[in-house]
Every structure is written in C-alpha cells, then in structure tokens.
Chain A
C-alpha cells in the first residue's frame, strides 16, 4: 500500500468528508481518504424486492448494532436513552438518510443571546447562507423558494417534489388554522439532474435509493473528487492519529481488511467520521503528550453529544392515502412552534416534518404507538392503518449537556479489536416538556386535517439519526475543541468537519448544515493554504 504523503488526509467518506474532498481536490490538493466501509452499487438496495421490509430491519437497518457488519463498529448504548443510527460506506450515513434538507434558522446560532441557554455559535446564518446555496446546487435540492420561516435567499435549484394526498389534507388544515406549513426541501431530485434520475416515489429512501434520485456523496461529490485526483481507500479503518514533537498531526495509522497496519502521512488531517466516530478517534489517539485524547486540552472532546429526541404523531384517516408511497424525506414541514415562547415552560422548539408510514409489515407488527391487535381484529386494524396514515415527525432541539457523552468501551470492540464507543445519554427535562407540547399541537393539526385516530410514539429509542456536538466550535480554547473555521485549537493542522462541531443542535435535520459548515471550512483551508502550519 502506498504511503505517499498527502496534502490532506480525510477520515470518513460520508456527507462532510465528501464535501471537503470535492472542494480540496478541485482546488488542486492531493487528497487521500480512508473509509472503513465500501462502495455500494444501487442495485444492492432492496427497495424493488419482496424482502424490502424484512431486510430493512436487519441488513439495511440504520443501527450498526442491529446490522453487525464487519465494517461497522458497534456502539455500547446500554446507558443511553436513544440508540445512535449511522452507516459505514462511501456516502456514509447519507446512503440511508431520508433526504430531508431543511436549514437551521438564524436564531439557532444565537440561543445564548436570545434565550439565555447553551452557547452561541461563532458564526451566523447569514455567513453560512452562501455555503448552503452552493451545496444545494451540488446536491440537487428540490423545494419551493420564498418560505417565510427563513430569511430571503436563492431558490432551491429544482422544483418541489409532490406532497401526496395526506400532506394535502394537512396543508388544508394548516390553512384553516392559520399555521405555518411549507413543502419541505429535500436532497431528492424532482427532475433529472447532472446524469441522475428523478425520484419515483417508491418510499424506500431509508434503505438506499435504487434510482440514485436521493443525494449521497458517493453520487454527488466523490466522482468529482476522484476525477480531480483524490484517492479513496475503502475497507480502511483508522485506529489513531499520530502527532510529532511540534504537536502537529503527521497522519493516521489504519488497518486494512486483513488486519495489516499502515501509516498514511499527511500535511493536514481532516476528521469526518461523524460525531461518534470522530470523538472515538480523538480519544483513541491519546498519547503521553495528550493523555486525555488528541485536541482535548479543554477536556470537552466527546461531551455535549446531541441526538434530537424524536416523537412521531400519526393520524389515521378514512381515505386510502396510499401512504406507503412517496419520498421518505419529509413532504411538508411546519415551523409554527419553532421559536421559544417562555409561557410554554421550556425553551426552543421543534420542526415538524410529515412522512409516509411504510409498508404492510410495518403496519401489521405491533408498534409502540399503535395498539397491538391480533385475532379477527387484526384485519380491521390493518385496514385502518395500512396506507391510511400521515405521520408528523417532531425533531426537538436537544440542548448540550456535558454529561451526555461519548467515551471508549472497556468491554466491546469492533471487528478489528479497537475499543467501541460508549454512550452516556439522557433525554433532558426541557426535551420532554418540549415534546409533550409539540405532540399535543401536532395531534391538533392531524385532527383538524380529519384524522379519526391519533397514535403517538413519544420518545422513539431508534431515533438517533442526528449525531452532533462532541467537538464543538468556539472562540475559547478552554471550553471548545475547534475554532470558528473547524480547526483544532490545540493541533494547528487538524480539522473536524462533521456534526461534532455543532455548538447547539437546532431543531431541524442537520445534514444541510453539516455540509455547509464543511464547505465553509474547506474554502477557508484553500484561502489560507499558504499560512497552514504543516509537520516538517
């Protein structure tokens, strides 16, 4: 295996890794990326097959613990209220993501100033807006411009996706109630775009998109990066980042699939392994020079893990809505109750996103929300539920808490024998109150839309889709890991570009923001390349 030094070594080929690789390779950097997973051809996805719902619960589950693939690392989540979800492969967790692509709102970057909680970000929405817009063009975002929930800006590049009959009922209800709603922007194509097909509404997005209509960086970014010379090594599991006596990163030690060890030297190291994988690697990179982990003089690496406690509120309607079809990223959204109203007894809020309700196996099995009906009533319940539901997903802002954290397991390892991450995470009182309030309001919305029954899944365990905050940005090196350009305060040639950098979580799906921050960081690297300290 070549050990040619790279200008930049990226660890993780997911959302943020892909964005940074494309930008830097196009700027002429020599880029190497190490990714523990592999490429997936879209013919592997099971959405077109009879076994789709069966494999969705095992081979294509969002949980690495359920999948148990050799390229996954297990997560010790015994002490966590939520189970984290992710995927290892080129494209990362985007291969299974739903495609919902909302942005954070201006207030999300200023919660300390506005609401007296948590911390402000060292950047603003306005600063990030051009990066959101550039990414939207790379990704191929479908949506409708002019949403008054956001400041004005460029319209999404593609027209909105259809919202489907369930969302239409809810939109009419919000019109009557005088509540905000808008077609949700999605990283899913409504028309053919840059050689990719438009969506066919098969509704299997969270098990991989057979059409390539849903964006993931294996489709949208890596081909460009590779065409510009980037080298992407798959089946390459990083076990630690090495540093020299100057305190600079020199590269990473990694294992191939046969367990052989390699060292990849680089001038700059970029971590893009998601908020659990990155925290794990920084902790694994402890040495005599930094016994508590790399880039951790603040002692905050791994802390402030945020995962967006989630509730779903499903309305059942008399009409057949064929709600097994339609893209799984949200069809419509509402920001009606997003901003803080102190009278509610909690701070911050939640975005609501309306989603389809899945196939027949999902409708038939007992869910935590639905009541269990076996015997002759099974058929009655099945006819009432299957295809008749519309489901609001409530993404509540998760405030950072130092005791919610990622550590290293002393008992569980991955298939290479490297300690697995261990989670300690409790849902806060603020989140519980927030969800209670939003569940009531979302129920009101669905009843107004004509639902005859409401089913609530209050705190779904397998809802840790959004992994954020474990290496936060900030101005103060004693309380944060990264500066405002995603560079480590401690290690001048180490960057973290994934969701770890989030200061607060916002109450929206985070990937458009992860990608915007990553692109901003990559731009800054290019703009300051001659000032970059590198190991000698």
Chain B
C-alpha cells in the first residue's frame, strides 16, 4: 500500500478514508501480518485496490474502520490495537477484518498457501468409499443396535 500510487477520486470510499488513515492502516497491517516465513506483509499486499474491494463488498466496515484509524490513537500500532481492544472491540474487529480480508483475497497470498479458492469437485457416488474398503463399519455393525428402546428402557 505504501509504494503504490493511490488514485483517489471524490466519491470513492478511499477518498473519504484519506491518505493519512491509509498510511496508518498500512502500518497496522505490517504490524499484524509482517513479512515472514516466506509470506509477504499485509502492508505490501493490501493495496488500494484490495482495500477498495473489501470496502465495496462490506460498506458496513467503513465507519468502524474510520474510528479505528483516527489520528488521536497515535503512531504505535500496538498501542492503538490495545486501546481499541479495551474500549472499542467493534472498531478493532473491523480493522482486523479489513486487513485479513484484503490479505487473504489476494491471488499471490492464496497461491503461496496452496489455496485456489472453493473449488468445484463434483461428487462421484460410484467411488467406493475407503472406509468400506477398510472395513471401518464392520465392528460398529457387529456390536449391534445401540439405540435405547423406550418400551424396554
């Protein structure tokens, strides 16, 4: 988000968010999800386009996000998050949601996780179940009925 030139036009949710809050968001994003273990940081991934996608999908997150990014909470992401957790859990949740959603809807991040989205794999009912092949129900059946008969208790 830092590096990318943010094209902001009036009427756009990004315009209302403003450059300062976007910069604050990037620093919190880097703090929560830093680059490590072969994964990029959220500050890098949650670009203006990602942010726009999240807020367009979930406009209800906009107001609590604005609250979570307000200037008065200072420069230190950990102090900001602690204050939100203590007094404004909704704003904290919105901030986390925007960052996490922006990050994990990114194609590069998904591919590094080996995740291609929810893929259609039509059931083939002719496939013989492994559990039957392994006889995993045999003992269940051998043990016989386990339901309690109300007439005999």
Contact with B along A183-199 (1 / 0, CB 8 A): 10000001100000111
Nearest-CB distance from B98 to chain A (Å)? 10
Contacting pair A172 B57 (CB below 8 A): no
Contact of A54 among B33, B38, B54 (CB under 8 A): B54
Task: Kindly specify which of A16-24, A156-164, A443-451 makes contact with the partner chain.
Answer: A156-164
Q: A148-B140, A161-B123, A376-B36 known; A172 and B101 CB under 8 Å?
A: no
Nearest-CB distance from B34 to chain A (Å)? 6
Q: A47-B118, A200-B123, A324-B115 known; A58 and B58 CB under 8 Å?
A: yes
Q: A148-B140, A386-B115 known; A380 and B37 CB under 8 Å?
A: yes
**Residue numbers in A under 8 Å from B38 (CB-CB):** 379
Contact of B96 among A109, A162, A199, A366 (CB under 8 A): A366
Nearest-CB distance from B100 to chain A (Å)? 5
**Residue numbers in B under 8 Å from A114 (CB-CB):** 148, 150, 153
In the docked arrangement, what's the CA distance between A44 and B48, Å? 27
Contacting pair A148 B33 (CB below 8 A): no
In the docked arrangement, what's the CA distance between A110 and B152, Å? 12
In the docked arrangement, what's the CA distance between A375 and B29, Å? 10
Contacting pair B100 A365 (CB below 8 A): yes
Contact of B5 with A by CB under 8 A: no
Contact with B along A98-129 (1 / 0, CB 8 A): 00000001110110011000000000110000
Contacting pair B115 A172 (CB below 8 A): no
Contacting pair A181 B140 (CB below 8 A): yes
**Residue numbers in A under 8 Å from B129 (CB-CB):** 160, 162-163, 183
Contact with A along B108-151 (1 / 0, CB 8 A): 00100111011111110101011100101101110111111110
In the docked arrangement, what's the CA distance between A110 and B150, Å? 6
Q: How big is chain A's contact interface, by range? A: 35 or more
Contact of B125 among A148, A198, A320 (CB under 8 A): A198
Contact of A249 with B by CB under 8 A: no
Closest residue of chain A to B143, judged by CB?
Answer: A148
In the docked arrangement, what's the CA distance between A168 and B127, Å? 15
Contact of A78 with B by CB under 8 A: no
Within 8 A of A (CB), among B59-106: 60, 96-97, 100-101, 103-105
Interface centre among A149, A365, A386 (most CB of B within 10 A): A365
**Residue numbers in B under 8 Å from A360 (CB-CB):** 104, 110, 113, 115
In the docked arrangement, what's the CA distance between A110 and B147, Å? 13
Contacting pair A204 B118 (CB below 8 A): yes
Contact of A359 with B by CB under 8 A: yes
**Residue numbers in A under 8 Å from B104 (CB-CB):** 53, 359-361, 364
B contacts with A: majority SS: loop
Nearest-CB distance from A158 to chain B (Å)? 7
**Residue numbers in A under 8 Å from B17 (CB-CB):** none
Contact of A201 with B by CB under 8 A: yes
Contacting pair A325 B119 (CB below 8 A): yes
Within 8 A of B (CB), among A138-178: 142, 144, 146, 148-151, 158-163, 168, 171-172, 174-175, 178
Nearest-CB distance from A462 to chain B (Å)? 14
In the docked arrangement, what's the CA distance between A158 and B123, Å? 12
**Residue numbers in A under 8 Å from B149 (CB-CB):** 106
Contacting pair A146 B141 (CB below 8 A): yes
Nearest-CB distance from A323 to chain B (Å)? 11
Closest residue of chain A to B135, judged by CB?
Answer: A175
Contact of B32 with A by CB under 8 A: yes
Interface centre among A51, A191, A336 (most CB of B within 10 A): A51
Contacting pair A50 B105 (CB below 8 A): yes
Nearest-CB distance from B101 to chain A (Å)? 5
Within 8 A of B (CB), among A34-65: 47-48, 50-55, 57-58
In the docked arrangement, what's the CA distance between A197 and B149, Å? 38
Contacting pair A376 B34 (CB below 8 A): yes
The 7 lowest CB-CB distance pairs between A and B, nearest first, are: A110-B150, A376-B36, A200-B120, A360-B104, A379-B37, A107-B148, A159-B125
List 21 A-B pairs, Cβ < 8 Å: A53-B104, A55-B57, A55-B58, A105-B147, A142-B125, A148-B144, A148-B146, A160-B125, A162-B127, A172-B134, A181-B136, A190-B123, A200-B123, A320-B114, A335-B147, A336-B146, A360-B104, A364-B100, A375-B34, A376-B36, A378-B33
Add 5 more A-B contacts to A106-B147, A163-B131, A200-B122 (CB < 8 A). Answer: A158-B125, A178-B139, A181-B136, A375-B32, A379-B38
